[in-house]
Amino acid sequence: MPPSSTSRVALVGLGFGAEFIPLYQAHPQAELTALCQRTPERLNALGDAFGIDKRYTDFQDLLQDPDVDAVHINTPIPDHAEQSIAALEAGKHVACTVPMATSVKDCERIVALTEETGLQYMMMETVVYSREFLYMKSLAEEGALGRIQYIQASHQQDMDGWPDYWPGLPPMHYATHCVGPCLALPNLDAVSVSCLGSGRIREELEKNYGSPFAVESAQIAMSDGETSARIVRSLFDTARQYRESIDVYGSLQSVEWPLIEGEPLILHTAKKPESEIPKKVSCPDYANRLPEALQRFTTEGVYDLDGNEHLSFTQGAGHGGSHPHLVNEFISALMDGRHPYPNARQSANWTCVGLLAHESAIAGGTKIALPSFTQSSPIVSGN
Ligand SMILES: NC(=O)c1ccc[n+]([C@@H]2O[C@H](COP(=O)([O-])OP(=O)(O)OC[C@H]3O[C@@H](n4cnc5c(N)ncnc54)[C@H](O)[C@@H]3O)[C@@H](O)[C@H]2O)c1
């Protein structure tokens, strides 16, 4: 049989997940063959609106469908691992929204399944495909930053009023938006983590997961034996506008994300008069890395060199224009028969940093090593 020219995908979970429907439909090498979510009303409304006839309310039924090569899972956090494992066992490739799992054991099972079967797994971490991150990564790859000396990242959000699995969730159980960019910038694995909890959330929240902390802040040691990062997370009872941020400090240049959402990045250049060191910069749009049919989906909140915002087409462009890049990375990896980025091991490494950081915080800050199944590069002693 000749190799197929498209990958047949089913989208599972159609809250946030619905944003990806037009992207798979537009991708020249993807076919969106089916939709799946528990309640039929929204399933049918979206199926009708986008002309998708195959609809499932039961995930297990979807997995029996021979016309589906891959599933993209966007269900509640507690379901990610169970559904990813079931899909891999049913012979489907998996893309799954963050985090990969809520236990180290489930991360290990997913990695083992991909290695046993040759199927691909990609955690759909939005930050590492945001235009801000892609800009910082380009600077790093061009050598403009010099040696990367340190990275810090934060993700603060007030999750009061979100669905039932959120209240009281340990902040580090949803840490991949900070961990991912810290490790993806230097392209290293985390080898150990230590974390302190701070403050206290309301008693009615605390009892849900037995997690008392309002804020968790962790130090990550990386596989080159030299680089480290700090991450900060809060989800409840901490006053802060929504913020995802990454600051990278290099020997030649550093980049900091703005303190207020929507303002431009700041580029610091060494060895200049103090007043000339910081400069507000615009992030280029990396739409040219995408198939033409997906390029329009990256545009949202693009800034010119003076920091002025130009808003235009916003459908599917959330999270720094990352969604079309995520879809393109997953589909091209399947079509090219290569690992996507992040692959199963990398996704496990990023997720387990958060899970073990919370364990560390509960234990008062103990340093915990990342398990070997999460390592993709050799570890250099020192960290
Ligand atoms: N930046 C990001 O990466 C980002 C942003 C938003 C949400 N998310 C993630 O996306 C996921 C979904 O978030 P949401 O806000 O849409 O949640 P939601 O609760 O609003 O929607 C969940 C969807 O999953 C469906 N679903 C639930 N259980 C199912 C099952 N067993 N089988 C099939 N479908 C099922 C529901 O019907 C619904 O369509 C969460 O895990 C969240 O962490 C990630």
Bridge-based pairing of strands 309-310 and 302-303 is antiparallel
Res. 268: pLDDT tops 90: yes
**Portion of the chain with pLDDT greater than 70, in percent:** 92
Given the CA of residue 163, which atom of ligand 1 is nearest to it? 19
Q: Is the CB of 40 under 6 A from ligand 1?
A: no
* DSSP class per residue in 22-66: HHHHH-TTEEEEEEE-S-HHHHHHHHHHHT--EEES-HHHHHT-T
Choose which residue among 12, 35, 37 to substitute to test ligand 1 binding: the one with the highest number of ligand atoms within 8 A of its C-beta: 37
Q: Are 337 and 123 in contact (CB under 8 A)?
A: no
Question: What pTM value is reported for the model?
Answer: 0.94
Residue nearest to atom 30 of ligand 1 (CA): 38
Cα 310 versus chain centre, distance: 25
8 Å CB contact between 294 and 27: yes
Evaluate: CB of 328 within 6 angstroms of ligand 1: no
Give the whole-angstrom CA distance, residue 56 versus residue 211: 36
Query: Which atom of ligand 1 approaches the CA of 162 most closely?
Result: 15
Distance CA 377, CA 383 (A): 14
| Higher pLDDT pick, 45 / 231 | 231
Ligand 1 atom with least separation from CA of 76: 41
Pairing between β-strand 215-222 and β-strand 228-234 as defined by DSSP bridges:
antiparallel
Q: Of 75, 77, 70, 79, nearest to 121 (Cα)?
A: 70
Span from the CA of 197 to the centroid of ligand 1 (angstroms) = 27
Give pLDDT, residue 4. Answer: 81
Ligand 1 pocket check: which of 19, 35, 36, 38 to mutate, most ligand atoms within 8 Å of Cβ? 38
Range 238-250 average pLDDT = 95
**Backbone angles phi and psi of 35, in degrees to 5:** -120, 150
Dump pLDDT digits (tens) for 39-82: 999 999 999 988 999 999 999 999 999 999 999 999 999 999 99
The whole-number average pLDDT for the span 345-371 is 98
The dihedral built from the CA positions of residue 334, 75, 347 and 285, taken in this order, carries a sign that is: positive
Question: So what's the pLDDT on residue 320?
Answer: 86
Instruction: Say yes or no: CB of residue 126 within 6 Å of ligand 1.
Output: yes
CB of residue 75 inside a 6 A radius of ligand 1: yes
Q: What is the pLDDT of residues 74-107, one digit of tens each?
A: 999 999 999 999 999 999 999 999 999 999 999 9
Longest dimension (CA), the chain: 65
Specify the ligand 1 atom closest to the Cα of 39.
37
152: which strand partners? 230, 247
Check residue 379 and give its pLDDT: 52
pLDDT for the residue numbered 382: 47
pLDDT at 283: 86
Strands (E), the chain: 7-12, 30-36, 54-56, 70-73, 93-96, 121-123, 148-156, 190-198, 215-222, 228-234, 243-250, 253-256, 265-269, 278-281, 302-303, 309-310, 368-369
Q: Using CA positions, which residue lies closest to atom 13 of ligand 1?
A: 16
Q: What tokens appear for 229 in the block? A: 């990062």
pLDDT tens digits, one per residue of 302-312: 333 344 443 33
Give the pLDDT confidence score for residue 315 in this predicted structure.
Answer: 40
Sequence letter at residue 255: V
Element (H, E) at 104: helix 104-117
Q: Is the CB of 183 under 6 A from ligand 1?
A: no
The atom of ligand 1 lying closest to the CA of 125 is 3
List the one residue out of 82, 87, 77 whose CA is nearest residue 10.
87
Range with the largest mean pLDDT of 21-25, 280-284, 354-358, 375-379: 354-358
> 202 pLDDT exceeds 50?
yes
Token digits for 322?
A: 């990352």
